[in-house]
Chain A
């Protein structure tokens, strides 16, 4: 039997973050087993953030080249989608090699095991029939795509295998209306597909105020994406050419060339035999604020945890926090300080509380919202549809920020600092922002707390 100081079950973002942090804190003296199967790096680098952002950025580049937005310019552009997707997959391979495979080689204290871990007791797992024991465990097994039980749903893509597609579908249905659905919808729409978003829920995204999601829906609809929300899919009929989706609330079924299922992800915990280690779980593993499970020596981090947000950055943070706490730290995560973004165009990003949450908590707040048309850089980019919404308490402290804007994912970090450090809208106003940038929209939204921004000149302090 192999014995370790720490066994990490998982090979994705949370697992790597935990392994590196534990190694750093112990001068690489902690003997670590990392156990998992599939491609090193887990969801994010292989089938998540990395390929999806590559796809989106390339699709934007294609669309922008095809439809020049400035007067006096014309272009013609073609795409070899097969060649493009080959390049995307090569890019993923390179990133996986650089950020995971090579990184792991720097840590002689970490042994990698290829296989599925199953608990025998709270200090032992089996992997391919071999026993591995450890004094501490971190479970970081991530999540998998949720597939609904729908009659006729047999031939479809998910965010796990869409990277094998080699032809741009003429008509594409995306089942779901969360961030994965919106990002893929945006990308394929940019490539020229007619995209239909279909979902039982009436709303886009979770955790945003309705004014934000309504605005986003309007912008995406103007860009050609068709929404069928609040409907129940009854059946999908498949013939040689098409997939025909029948659902209530419409006169006509939709026939499409391809379907992508993007209805969320669920924790990957079924095969761990958690009962043997007395680790409690519901849909995901239950943890306290220190990422500790119901078993004293077992922690959990990332998408396998019972939590609303499934984010690579959060997974990484949780992995590091779990490793630190195993080694005597007293760290916890304030979920309200974790930013979130979808990379559809325009980006949508948020941090902190929404109005909806504050209302539910009966808390006093002040809200200001500015239209992106007030932002010179957005006008220069000819992408001025969007909103910046800031919520403060009565002492001017920023409680939350939601943005729809080009590059919002890049500058929501300003909101993170404001919320994390309990800063005020005076702090926003008294901080110089570069003009002209889309990020300046945060300053203008801050100024809207104290003055009528329609009476402001450029760079007004």
Chain B
């Protein structure tokens, strides 16, 4: 079973930030696909059962000293 997680992502100001956040999410176990929007400050993350959506808020790229923060907004079964 896969799920689509919508994350509100704070702190992104440029395309490098988008790349950084995307890489951080893609490198997480259980993450299958990632689309990050700088304009909306959001990320759509496709995950499998190996990851709890809430745990995405605390992956390395969203932890100090990183200045990016994320909060789960929606989780939908795909």
Where the two chains meet, the residues of A that have a C-beta atom closer than 8 Å to any C-beta of B are 5, 25-27, 29-30, 135-136, 326-328
Residue from the set A26, A30, A135, A136 with the largest chain B CB neighbour count within 10 Å: A26
B62 touches A29 (CB 8 A): no
Instruction: Give the complex CA separation of A320 and B67 in angstroms.
Output: 17
State whether the Cβ of B70 lies closer than 8 Å to any Cβ in chain A: yes
Question: Which of B13, B71, B73 lies in contact with A327, CB distance below 8 A?
Answer: B71
A26 touches B10 (CB 8 A): yes
B69 touches A25 (CB 8 A): yes
B57 touches A5 (CB 8 A): no
Instruction: Give the complex CA separation of A350 and B70 in angstroms.
Output: 39
Instruction: Give the complex CA separation of A29 and B11 in angstroms.
Output: 7
For window 1-31 of B, CB contacts with A under 8 Å fall at 8, 10-13
A328 touches B71 (CB 8 A): yes
Given A27-B67, A135-B71, 18 new contacts (CB under 8 A) = A5-B8, A5-B71, A25-B10, A26-B69, A27-B11, A27-B13, A29-B10, A29-B11, A29-B12, A29-B41, A135-B8, A136-B71, A327-B69, A327-B71, A328-B57, A328-B58, A328-B62, A328-B63
B8 nearest CB neighbor, chain A only: A5
* Nearest-Cβ distance from residue A330 to partner chain B, whole angstroms: 9
Instruction: Give the complex CA separation of A25 and B70 in angstroms.
Output: 10
Question: Which of B8, B10, B58 lies in contact with A27, CB distance below 8 A?
Answer: B10
A328 touches B70 (CB 8 A): yes
Instruction: Give the complex CA separation of A151 and B31 in angstroms.
Output: 69
Point out the residues of chain A lying under 8 angstroms from B41, CB to CB. 29
A26 touches B11 (CB 8 A): yes
Point out the residues of chain B lying under 8 angstroms from A135, CB to CB. 8, 71, 73
* Nearest-Cβ distance from residue A167 to partner chain B, whole angstroms: 54
Point out the residues of chain B lying under 8 angstroms from A328, CB to CB. 57-58, 62-63, 69-71
Instruction: Give the complex CA separation of A26 and B62 in angstroms.
Output: 11
* Nearest-Cβ distance from residue B68 to partner chain A, whole angstroms: 9
Point out the residues of chain B lying under 8 angstroms from A27, CB to CB. 10-11, 13, 67
Point out the residues of chain A lying under 8 angstroms from B73, CB to CB. 135
A135 nearest CB neighbor, chain B only: B73
Point out the residues of chain B lying under 8 angstroms from A5, CB to CB. 8, 71
Point out the residues of chain A lying under 8 angstroms from B13, CB to CB. 27
Instruction: Give the complex CA separation of A29 and B67 in angstroms.
Output: 12
Instruction: Give the complex CA separation of A350 and B75 in angstroms.
Output: 48
Instruction: Give the complex CA separation of A327 and B73 in angstroms.
Output: 12
